Chains A and B, each alone.
Chain A
Amino acid sequence: MELVCPAGNLPSLKAAVENGANAVYMGFRDATNARHFPGLNFNESNTAKAIELAHSRGVKVLLAVNTYPQPHNWGDWQTAVDRAAGMGFDALIAADLGVLDYAANRHPQLPLHLSVQGSATNYEALRFYHKNFGIRRAVLPRVLSLSQVRHVVENSPVEIEVFGFGSLCVMVEGRCLLSSFAAGQSPNTFGACSPAESVEWRETPNALETRLGGILIERYGKTDRAGYPTICKGRFEAGGHTYHAIEDPTSLNTLGVLPDLIKMGIAAIKIEGRQRSPAYVAEVARVWRQAIDAATRDPDHFNPKGEWNAALAKVSEGAQTTLGALHRPWQ
């Protein structure tokens, strides 16, 4: 099982490579990828450096061009695909039908992965992408239970990658427009959920308010730890109750089901967090390397070590972690 780690910049990429990643994924510095945040991602010169560094250590480099172009900016996605093909990436991670079609026809030698943003939750969809674009791997949205994931793997024509750790989208990826409803830009169109320029932190006499596009997402007491205003993690009022109507601020952590994932034939575990620090990448990669090695050696006697969970808890967003949809009762 491959460990696929996030690289938002060169220091993070180094941290991943030095701590046991089998592959890293990254994006260019524009809206063509789903972590389009200020100061993040790679330009032409450090892309070349990144690939050289990773390849020198036998680590694969995957490029995410996984957002949805529109007619007026199609050229940016086409350029990104062409650059990817010429620079020696090991695979392109894409979501849009047009982008996949272009890449498959123009650069047939470039392996394709279906991004989680492609929103394929079932093997019929995977068969379509395999038949039409020859994808080799697909990343599953974080909406399936463990038995549903197993069923997809058993019937899929391609390798399956799942998320193992990090921030948790509770909506099916690629089909969530909450961000653009409030702020005009979404992961699909802009590569960012809650884009920074639409986020406000407003001090009031009794509270700290977070807003997106002017809309109140959360109100924190003076001593609370304030989180970034993503709509699905805000508190709203329904039927007279104010609560986390969609999701508590928790992170995904699937260490507890790692042996199941290995046994069912999951090809790769993805770590979320290209927007996080190199220290985060180093810590998470180190723990997951050890865990995957231990679970592969002896899946029947695998127990996540206390120190692993403690290390992961330190870098989690919010205080809690969850198995997410993999654990049916969570749904």
Chain B
Amino acid sequence: MTDTPIKPRLSLGPVLYYWPEQDLHAFYDQVADSAVDIVYLGETVCSKRRSLNFEGWMDLAAKLAEAGKEVVLSAMTLLEAESELLALRRICGNGRFMVEANDMGAVALLAGKGPFVAGTGVNTYNQHSLAVLARQGLKRWVLPVELSKQTLAAMQRERPAGVETEVFAYGRLPLAYSARCYTARHHNLPKDDCQLRCLDYPDGLLLKTQEGQPFLALNGIQTQSAQTHSLLPELDEVLELGVDILRISPQSHHTLAVIEAFRKGLEQPVTAKQQQEAILRFMPTGPCDGYWNNRPGIEQSL
């Protein structure tokens, strides 16, 4: 553990939902002026979402880089079709920006060819897996969302030199991926004729239990938590563990306010809990932080 904790940088994760092109542009125009240091760009959930093509993402990346952001291109999580591998090869061979792998197929393409990021879609559960990835050129890894601060602490102690640690600090948790599209299923449509219904759910489709408890959010082939995972109240613990980067996952409204709350929290960690109070109303169905405390992910401490 370092004597004086380093101040983590803030990153903005890839947009996990299907937003129209103009919404994406409006969103990233704001992001360019925000306090985030790193921006992850790209489609990671469904290859049928094409608000931007590869060139469109690259243009956006260049703009954000010009605005002083470190840009990383995020790749797909569930790779099934050859067309998806072709798109993946273009991203991995983009020649300018670092790439976030969310599948071992991407790791295979990036291995030995310069630095890369292992995102939440890559299972890095222990120090030995981290060492394997480090040998391939890993620059940064994201803690799998179901792992606790205890596991993070142990992995930080044995982290290979030069590897940065990023933690998913805010957003609906990515929990599962499937061959089936649950948004299409909700509309009684087959996946191959989904009519792009994900456009109707810019923060996912809420799933409640039969007694009305918010539980999950359907986002096409991805299933998320209904609750918004937030580590803002635990910022003192996060700082102690020497985390390099805190990731904020975009939502359709108030993302900039969330970024501001994290920035203020990092500036004055004693106010972090108040900052959480200030953004509670921006969470569609309340907060959770169970995974961090080695509890069921849906739980909220305090």
A-contact bits for B209-225, CB 8 A (1 contact / 0 none)? 11111011010000101
- With A177-B176, A238-B186 already in contact, the answer to whether A98 and B127 are too (CB < 8 A) is yes
CB distance from B116 to the nearest CB of A (A): 13
Given contacts A246-B182, A328-B192, contact A237 B128 (CB under 8 A): no
Output the nearest chain B residue to A234 by Cβ-Cβ distance.
B209
| A257 proximity list for chain B (CB < 8 A) | none
Asked if B298 contacts A96 (CB within 8 A), the reply is no
- Picked from A69, A172, A175, the residue with its CB within 8 Å of the CB of B179 is A172
Q: Which residues of A contact B150 (CB under 8 A)?
A: 72
Mark each residue of chain A from 173 to 209: 1 if its CB lies under 8 Å from any CB of chain B, else 0.
0111110111110101100000000000000000000
Which of the listed residues A128, A175, A217, A241 has the most CB atoms from chain B within 10 Å of its own CB? Answer: A175
Interface-central residue, A128, A131, A217, by most chain B CB under 10 Å:
A128
Question: Does A329 reach chain B (CB closer than 8 Å)?
Answer: yes
**Which one of B84, B88, B205, B211 contacts A238 once the chains associate, using CB atoms below 8 Å?**
B205
The answer for the CA separation of A306 and B291 in the assembled complex, in Å, is 48
If A124-B85, A172-B179, A180-B296 touch, does A69 touch B126 (CB 8 Å cutoff)? yes
Contact B298 A215 (CB under 8 A): yes
A177–B126 CB distance below 8 A = no
B296 touches A182 (CB 8 A): yes
A296 in contact (CB, < 8 A): no
Say which one of B100-108, B237-245, B253-261, B276-284 lies at the interface with A: B100-108
Is the CB–CB distance between B208 and A96 below 8 Å? no
Chain A residue with Cβ nearest B128: A98
| Pairwise interchain contact B126-A143, C-beta atoms closer than 8 A | no
Interface contact A125-B182, CB-CB below 8 Å = no
A28-68 at interface with B (beta carbon < 8 Å): 68
The residue of chain B having its C-beta at the shortest distance from the C-beta of A198 within the complex is: B296
Contact A242 B178 (CB under 8 A): no
Give chain A interface residues in 16-38, CB to chain B under 8 Å.
none
A88-128 vs B: 1/0 string, CB under 8 Å? 00000001111101100000000000000011111111011
- Residues of A contacting B297 in the complex (Cβ-Cβ under 8 angstroms): 177, 180-182, 184
B113: CB under 8 A from chain A? no
**Interface-centre pick from A129, A170, A176, A246 (highest chain B CB count, 10 A):** A246
Given contacts A98-B132, A175-B121, A246-B182, contact A144 B80 (CB under 8 A): yes
Is B146 on the interface with A (CB-CB < 8 A)? yes
- The binding surface of chain A is classed by DSSP as mixed
A-B CB contacts (within 8 Å), total count: 224
A305 to chain B, nearest CB (A): 29
| Minimum CB–CB distance for B166 against chain A, Å | 18
B133 interfacial by beta-carbon distance below 8 Å: yes
**Please, which residues of chain A bring their CB within 8 A of the CB of B79?**
121-122, 124-125
Give the distance in Å from the alpha carbon of A242 to the alpha carbon of B125 in the complex: 36
B155 within 8 A of A: yes
- Report if A235 contacts B (CB, 8 A): yes
Q: Is A83 an interface residue (CB 8 A)?
A: no
A270 interfacial by beta-carbon distance below 8 Å: no
A125 near B123: Cβ-Cβ < 8 Å:
no
CA A237 to CA B158, docked complex, whole Å = 44
Task: Please give me the residue from chain A that is nearest to B190 by CB atom.
Answer: A329
Shortest CB-to-CB span from A324 to chain B, Å, is: 8
In the complex, which residues of chain B have a beta carbon less than 8 angstroms from the beta carbon of A219?
Answer: 210
CB-contacts of A127-151 with B (<8 A):
127-129, 131-132, 142-145, 148, 151
Q: Which of B80, B130, B186, B295 is most buried by chain A, counting CB atoms within 10 A of its CB?
A: B80
Task: Give the chain B neighbours of A242 by CB distance below 8 A.
Answer: 210
Chain B residue nearest in CB terms to A245: B207
Q: Is the CB of B125 within 8 A of A69?
A: yes
Q: Residues of B contacting A186 with CB < 8 Å? A: 146
> B148's closest neighbor in chain A, by CB?
A70
Cβ of B35 under 8 Å from chain A: no
The reply to whether B296 and A181 form a contact with Cβ atoms under 8 Å apart is: yes
The residue in chain A whose Cβ has the minimal distance to the Cβ of B296 is A184
Query: Residue among A124, A170, A216, A329 with the most chain B CB within 10 A?
Result: A124
Assuming A237-B208, A242-B210, A329-B190, is B177 touching A175 (CB within 8 A)? yes
Q: How far is the CB of B137 from chain A (nearest CB, A)?
A: 13
Q: What A residues does B78 contact at CB under 8 A?
A: 121, 143, 172, 175
B225 to chain A, nearest CB (A): 6
**Min CB gap A243→B, angstroms:** 8
In the complex with contacts A170-B179, A171-B223, A175-B176, A97-B133 CB distance below 8 A: yes
Are B145 and A177 touching (Cβ within 8 A)? Answer: yes
A188 touches B146 (CB 8 A): yes
Residue contact A144 to B223, C-beta cutoff 8 Å = no
Residues of B within 8 A of A122 (CB): 79-80, 84-85, 103, 105
Chain B residues 91 to 145 lying within 8 A of chain A, measured CB to CB, are 103-109, 111, 121, 123-133, 144-145
- The answer to whether the Cβ of B81 comes within 8 Å of any Cβ in the partner chain is yes
Smallest CB-CB A-B distances: 9 pairs: A98-B128, A71-B154, A143-B179, A128-B108, A124-B105, A125-B104, A68-B125, A97-B129, A325-B179
Residues on A lying within 8 angstroms of B by beta carbon are 68-72, 74, 95-99, 101-102, 118-125, 127-129, 131-132, 142-145, 148, 151, 170-172, 174-178, 180-184, 186, 188-189, 213, 215-219, 231-232, 235-239, 241-242, 245-247, 324-325, 328-331
**Pairs A–B under 8 Å by Cβ, sample size 26:** A70-B154, A96-B126, A119-B104, A122-B103, A122-B105, A123-B105, A124-B104, A128-B105, A128-B107, A144-B179, A171-B178, A172-B177, A176-B176, A176-B177, A177-B175, A178-B176, A181-B298, A182-B297, A189-B147, A218-B210, A231-B216, A236-B216, A238-B205, A238-B218, A324-B179, A329-B190
